[in-house]
Structure 1
Amino acid sequence: MNMKHEHEHHSTSHEAHDDHHQEDGHGNHHEGMIADFKRRFFVSLGLTLPILLLSDMIQEWAGFDLSFAYDQETLFILATVVYLYGGWPFLKGSIDEWRERNPGMMMLIGLAISVAYFYSVAIVFGYGDGHDFFWELATLIVIMLLGHWIEMRSIMGASNALQELVRLLPSVAHRLTGEKSEDVPVSALRKGDLILVKPGEQVPVDGTILKGHTTVDESMLTGESLPVEKETGNLVIAGSINQEGSMTIETTGTGESTYLSKVIELVSEAQESKSRTQNLANRAAKLLFFVAVGAGVLTFAIWLLLGYPVSMAVERMVTVMVISCPHALGLASPLVVAVSTALSAKRGLLIRNRTQFEEARQLDAIIFDKTGTLTQGDFGVTDLKPQAPYTEEELLRLAAGVEMASQHPLARGILQAAEERRLAFDPVDSFESITGVGLQGRIDDALVQVVSPRHVRQQDILIEEEAFEQLSASGKTVVFVLRDGVLVGMIALADMVREEAKDTVQALKERGVRSIMLTGDNRKVAHWVADQLGIEEVYAEVLPDDKSRQVKKIQAEGRKVGMVGDGINDAPALAQADVGIAIGSGTDIAVETADIVLVRSNPGDVLSVLDLSRNTYNKMIQNLWWAAGYNIVALPLAAGVLAPVGILLSPAIGAVLMSLSTVIVALNARTLRI
């Protein structure tokens, strides 16, 4: 029973920029709504107890009498407070659904409580005979408030994706004027401004390098796993991280014209266009609304045509309309939601969007990002090729000795391999990082260098060409180790495949779910990883807008698509997919855009998503049948179908049936744990 407001989105990146200072507003708003429902529930519950005691129908049914001066007026005042205060969210929601011409849960509840209230007011003030329905009105409001409160507590608020994206951009830039540098807000930058970007800083705007030679980490923006070398004339992207050298860039794009802002726009468009499917309980409520109105009008007309007085026809019509909104329906979905959310948390799943979680059971294609999702996002040594007379251990020991002083991703991989072999290495002196070449330092009075293939070529050093080509062709990154200018050997590294990813792809294949890899990384690397995992469909060197376009293309084939990713470049595709699934260790923007988050960062948890979604949906269907079963029995009897044979459902018996269906629904929800 998701509220309409559950997944609100800003419609443009411009709005996201404007609302940056309100970035926490939605979370506070959501918490405020939960507190509001809780407060309305407890106030209404407190007032419902005396309403039940003062109701003549309850007194007649339970066999006691409680009357005093102005007892009916007291009942009217208490019921009016419950109707206006407790029922306000449903009355307001009814108006919203009426304006949208899309009746659902709110209009069904609003109809039932309004008919009960105004009919009861007429009875209390002597405008008709019969029993009032104030008790029914109060209990219905209390149970519906409880249902909404339970559900809102057990799910997370709406997406903060656009605000998270805006946060990624630095707020201050070093603008150069002549030889001077001044710190200015990024919003003050214009096209053509010269900006200084220091090592370790984020690039504040899109631009062209005028001076400097460095490496830039673009992995979270483009999916390229290795840092990218940049020199004069190259383009840099806002939001990427400058690693080694300082650079001066000329601004080519600011504000909404930057690459990152285009990603923001893509996310916004995808969220707006994503099908706003009503969830299960709301679809049932929509049907019941039309049934209630139709049955009520038909009941009134038939009793009049049979010659009964208007008061009798009105009583039958009101009885039908009031009991057509089953209390159990208000709890059918929230109780299952609460249980499945608790189960999800135990399995390391964070459900952010209930409606899309329900849809996960229908997925028949899962698209995986590569870096950080199918792979660990960390480089590991795959091959050691020492040059005689050196051994693998000596090759690795020399490389690790130099790499100890570096923060480069490849350095971490080489050091880890040395630690796994428990190698001891001597301290390095005169360490130096040479951009575009590699690293060097002195170990045991010898100059040890870990360099790129390009440097080896430039120095005309002979290497095993066949072995090098074979390693490169499989998408591995190869570095060469030199000792005093003589080749010691080569080391191949790759972004290591997650072991659990292999099992996941195989399990999905057995279920008939197609696995697809979609990555911004280069083709060689992508196909090497795909071969390791058994994925046959691979799309590499894909930009963020191409990722969301590829998702649309697969959806156009009539498939239900799930997208699993962790980077900024995955955000548009996560928003576009039928179900977006983020790796928990990924970027905030990926997590905020997704419908489901894998907290343990294990791609194998995708299988848990599919299983739990199917089981939850089945349990909801069962509960809705129990809730509707009450209507199937109660509505015809309330309308008076069996009146000719002396059977006419009284509101008191209707209350017993209602309570019974509510208890069954509550117990059935608990069985989801089994």
Structure 2
Amino acid sequence: MTPKRKTTAKIGPLGRQFRGVQPQGAYTADLFWRAFKESLVKFQPRVQIRNPVMFVVWVGSLVTLALTIEPNLFGPSSASRGYNGVVMAILVLTVWFANYAEALAEGRGKAKAAALRRTRSDLVGVRILDDGRKQTVPARDLRKDDVVRVEKDHVMPADGEVIEGAAYVNEAAITGESAPVLKEPGTDIFSSVTAGTTVISDWLLIRVTTNPGDTFLDRMIHLVEGAKRQKTPNEVALTVLLSVLTLIFVIVVASIAPVAAYLQAQINIADLVALLVALIPTTIGALLSAIGIAAIDRTMRFNVLAMSGKAVEAAGDVQTLILDKTGTITTGNREANDFIAVAGVQQSDLVQAAFLASYFDTTPEGRSVISCSVARGAEPAVGLDQAKGLDFSAQTRMSGIDLGDGRVIRKGAVSAVVRHAADEFHASPPADLQAIADRVSKMGATPLAISVDGDILGIVVLSDTLKPGIRERIEQLRKMAIRTIMVTGDNPITAQTIAAEAGVDEFVAEVNPEEKLRLVRREQSEGRLVAMTGDGTNDAPALAQADVGLAMHSGTMAAKEAANLVDLDSDPTKLTDLVAIGKQMLITRGALTTFSIANDVAKYFAIIPAMFIVALPGLAALNVMGLATPRSAVLSALIFNALIIPLLIPLALRGVHFRVETAANLFSRNLWIYGVGGLIAPFIGIKLIDFLIAPLV
């Protein structure tokens, strides 16, 4: 018999956030220093041009640098070298603050990538050749389908599937969880191993499933590096919008020069550059990339590996959550606690048959049936060494044993066992079988029928319980207008009972992998974004089809490759947490965009009057801030424009606080905070800066 797997229930970090507790990040002095150095590297034009808004500021800093060297470069100017130099310095700082925000967001990902690279570079494997000889080779020389033997205390050199042996593996290097996991062949989700993990007992023979560069470790390295990040669709759309706004302001500012000439007002080129920079949405342009990178990093800190920013963004827009009952809504620790025999059958016979049916069943449920039946007096039968086990499958929904004496014993869903008895032995079910099964189902338990040569002896009762707080979390999802669908292989009566207790909107019982795929497509055909979880090879098609597919790290390689998110803790309830992460990213992006545009309106009242007040004294009425001089007004607006970026970096990295409420309420609240706040803050900030610098200019 295989050892029992120890499982522990976990509360995801965002599960805590639902209760008002924000996860904390570790920003160290070393991280700040590395971000500083990286921010200087980002001054390269090929890096700057990727951000059109900040590229305009970068070009403006070059123009004012030229004017600092030669003030009359573009014609007569009243601006001194010192004034132009100050404008140039403020613009350089503005670009640097944007670079620093992005570098700081990337910092933790790059630190994680560096640690993973060190792990990968040291890996070696013992390859088993066709003639049986062993060959020690670097991990980079291993190829798909190679067979490798990994001994105790050795590190797994590549991703693979266990084909022989059984051992405990420490996956802390990948998951951060030090509790060992039992790996053995033929268990679907517990036969998958990952490069970088350590065997801490016995040995394993694995078949490599990936080529160098495609391992899970390689994928983690690429994905946690912000430099490798692809922009999400919404981020691309917002970048295009910001670029269009910037282009419009470039045209508007360029047209001011001939207007000024007509009015016989002398306009300094440095002032025009300052006006342009103050009016374009530099705040959101500087922080947009950092917001996206921070959201991906946030999922990483929650032990979820995002295959792309698009997956995190899509999680924020999800409208339907497909949740598996076992392990997501319930604890997943279904245990046998009773045996109910049909009329005319001794319970001892049912208990013994249940023991034999589960003899080769290595699943937690199978082990619990063994334990419960042994406690009720079951004993091993003679000739088990000649018996053949039948593994459970989603199609047959049965498992069992074919004994050496010819007896066929099956255990599984009641309808599946009844169909097996009719098809293989032309036997009819006992008259009271369905009544017993219905009674068990109405209690929220799962009935499993036991048959011997087509004769159904009775029911094994598997009990499961709802996860603590799951009903409250589903209610929170409903408040966010997210529809929940529970899927389960259980019969409809059990499914209906659990669904009512959990409060889900809909349930689908007795599902197989094909029906999960059809369910995802049905929801998508009705215009909804769909998220679901899975861990087996049979879940891969539905995971690939879903807009957000969350695979368990303990699952098969096929499931992890099909999904766009991988939970390293293998906790299916993380799906509800990811919805909040995605919504927080979208809310943060929207809030800072609103704040940035509102800022520009206020800065208009600072700079425009300052530029034309000499030629058009009537514009003094627009100087509502009462700024001291035209030059102090321009410099105050520029300084505020630069300083607001580092002041908002913590908010961009942490995210706007997410509350579980309707989209209308969220929009209204954030519009007041960041819209009205964005209008008021510049008036206060620019006036204060003007008060401080007026005596100096």
Q: Same fold (TM over 0.5)?
A: yes
Distance 1:305 1:555, change over 3 A: farther
Distance 1:352 1:299, change over 3 A: farther
CA deviation string 1:3-22 (max 9, x = no partner): xxxxxxxxxxxxxxxxxxxx
State how far apart, in whole Å, the 2-side matches of 1:389 and 1:548 are.
Answer: 43
Whether 2:444 is the aligned partner of 1:490: answer no
Match of 1:148 among 99, 102, 110: 102
Deviation at 1:467, TM superposition (A): 0.4
Match of 2:260 among 283, 294, 303: 303
Whether 2:548 is the aligned partner of 1:579: answer yes
State how far apart, in whole Å, the 1-side matches of 2:432 and 2:631 are.
Answer: 89
State how far apart, in whole Å, the 1-side matches of 2:310 and 2:145 are.
Answer: 38
What amino acid does structure 2 have at the position aligned with 1:490? G
Whether 2:389 is the aligned partner of 1:431: answer no
1:455-534 alignment to 2 at 5 Å?
464-467=430-433, 471=437, 477-480=448-451, 489-492=457-460, 499=467, 505=474, 508-509=477-478, 512-517=481-486, 525=491, 528-529=494-495, 532-534=498-500
What amino acid does structure 1 have at the position aligned with 2:384? F
State how far apart, in whole Å, the 1-side matches of 2:88 and 2:274 are.
Answer: 12
Whether 2:496 is the aligned partner of 1:536: answer no
Secondary structure of 2:234's counterpart equals coil
Matched residue, 1:11: none
Matched residue, 1:648: 630
Deviation at 1:479, TM superposition (A): 1.9
Deviation at 1:434, TM superposition (A): 3.4
Whether 2:603 is the aligned partner of 1:634: answer yes
State how far apart, in whole Å, the 1-side matches of 2:36 and 2:292 are.
Answer: 19
Distance 1:186 1:374, change over 3 A: same
Secondary structure of 1:367's counterpart equals strand
CA deviation string 1:342-400 (max 9, x = no partner): 76567665555445434544433223356765577776547622367876577436643
Matched residue, 1:75: none
State how far apart, in whole Å, the 1-side matches of 2:553 and 2:265 are.
Answer: 66
- Native 8 Å contact 1:468 1:478 kept in 2: no
1:97-108 alignment to 2 at 5 Å?
106-108=51-53
Distance 1:629 1:664, change over 3 A: farther
Match of 1:319 among 274, 284, 308: 274
What amino acid does structure 2 have at the position aligned with 1:113? W
State how far apart, in whole Å, the 2-side matches of 1:40 and 1:502 are.
Answer: 43
Matched residue, 1:204: none
State how far apart, in whole Å, the 2-side matches of 1:613 and 1:397 are.
Answer: 51
Structure 1 vs Structure 2 CA RMSD: 5.5
- Native 8 Å contact 1:367 1:517 kept in 2: yes
- Native 8 Å contact 1:381 1:491 kept in 2: no
- Native 8 Å contact 1:638 1:649 kept in 2: no
CA deviation string 1:470-510 (max 9, x = no partner): 6499795422369xx9x894344679676466665555456
CA deviation string 1:434-487 (max 9, x = no partner): 367943779xxx9997446557996788963430686499795422369xx9x8
1:88-167 alignment to 2 at 5 Å?
88-93=45-50, 106-125=51-70, 127-128=73-74, 129=77, 130=79, 131-132=84-85, 133-153=87-107
- Native 8 Å contact 1:518 1:538 kept in 2: yes
Distance 1:354 1:671, change over 3 A: closer
Secondary structure of 1:563's counterpart equals strand
TM-score (norm. length: structure 1):
0.55
Matched residue, 1:87: 44
Distance 1:604 1:507, change over 3 A: farther
Matched residue, 1:563: 532
State how far apart, in whole Å, the 1-side matches of 2:239 and 2:580 are.
Answer: 23
Deviation at 1:533, TM superposition (A): 1.7
What amino acid does structure 1 have at the position aligned with 2:254? V
Matched residue, 1:609: 578
TM-score (norm. length: structure 2):
0.54
- Native 8 Å contact 2:543 2:550 kept in 1: yes
Distance 1:525 1:108, change over 3 A: same
Deviation at 1:139, TM superposition (A): 1.9
- Native 8 Å contact 2:98 2:645 kept in 1: no
Deviation at 1:562, TM superposition (A): 2.8
Identity, % of aligned positions:
18
State how far apart, in whole Å, the 1-side matches of 2:642 and 2:94 are.
Answer: 11
CA deviation string 1:312-368 (max 9, x = no partner): 353333222334456643554566667766765676655554454345444332233
Deviation at 1:401, TM superposition (A): 6.7
State how far apart, in whole Å, the 2-side matches of 1:385 and 1:40 are.
Answer: 66
Structure 2, unaligned stretches of length 5 or more? 1-29, 114-126, 131-142, 147-161, 165-184, 190-230, 391-398, 412-416, 621-628, 659-697
What amino acid does structure 2 have at the position aligned with 1:467? L
Deviation at 1:107, TM superposition (A): 1.3
State how far apart, in whole Å, the 2-side matches of 1:667 and 1:600 are.
Answer: 27
Distance 1:550 1:391, change over 3 A: closer
Deviation at 1:613, TM superposition (A): 4.0
Q: Which moved more, 1:554-563 or 1:388-397?
A: 388-397
Secondary structure of 1:278's counterpart equals helix
Matched residue, 2:37: 42
Whether 2:250 is the aligned partner of 1:293: answer yes
Q: Which moved more, 1:660-669 or 1:447-456?
A: 447-456
Distance 1:384 1:427, change over 3 A: closer
What amino acid does structure 2 have at the position aligned with 1:661? I
Distance 1:411 1:517, change over 3 A: closer
Deviation at 1:303, TM superposition (A): 2.0
User: How many correspondences in the alignment?
Assistant: 481
CA deviation string 1:49-68 (max 9, x = no partner): xxxxxxxxxxxxxxxxxxxx
